[in-house]
Structure 1
């Protein structure tokens, strides 16, 4: 079974490796939305895979590293494309929640990344 929880944060970034004149080379911001999917068996005595409160408590410190930050200044995000940001999130969430199955990250309502490790 897979459960999920949605989160969001606001950050600015620029993409240093795009061609000269590309609009994403300038500092700009996004409200990022991401969904964390956790796979596991139901704990019979509790009736769930994981308590959503525990999931939220584990994710919020990671969000605090990104929220209202210039992502390019966050260690490991010097070239903060959505793809690299999704891998960065995965590498911080997976040790906390081994059942992590998937992350979906949207930088706009119509564009995003799905990563499954």
Structure 2
């Protein structure tokens, strides 16, 4: 079974490795949508794969590190593409939630990345 929880954060970034004429080379912002998926068998006693409250408390500190920040200033995110941000998030979340199955990160309603480690 797979459960999920959604989070939202606002961040600015610029992509330093794109050609000078590329619009994403200029600083701009997104309201990111992060969906975290955990996979497992429901506990026979609780009936849960995981407590959604525990999931929120475990993920929120990482979201708080990104919210209203310039992503380029965060160590490890000097080139903050959605792909690189997804890997960065995975590396933070996986040790806390070993049942992490995938994350989905959207920078616009129609654009995003799914990362499965």
State whether TM-score is above 0.5.
yes
- Give the Å deviation of 1:21: 1.3
- Give the Å deviation of 1:34: 1.0
Per-residue CA deviations over 1:50-104 (Å, capped at 9, x if unaligned) read 0000000000000111000000000100000000000000000000000000000
- Give the Å deviation of 1:20: 1.0
Residue aligning to 2:39: 39
Residue aligning to 2:67: 67
- Separation in 1, partners of 2:110, 2:66: 21
- Separation in 1, partners of 2:60, 2:115: 20
Residue aligning to 1:106: 106
TM-score, normalisation: structure 1: 0.99
Per-residue CA deviations over 1:15-58 (Å, capped at 9, x if unaligned) read 00000111000000000001000001111110111000000000
- Separation in 1, partners of 2:34, 2:61: 15
5+ long unaligned stretches in structure 1: none
- Separation in 1, partners of 2:72, 2:66: 10
Residue aligning to 2:12: 12
- Separation in 2, partners of 1:2, 1:22: 38
SS at match of 1:48: coil
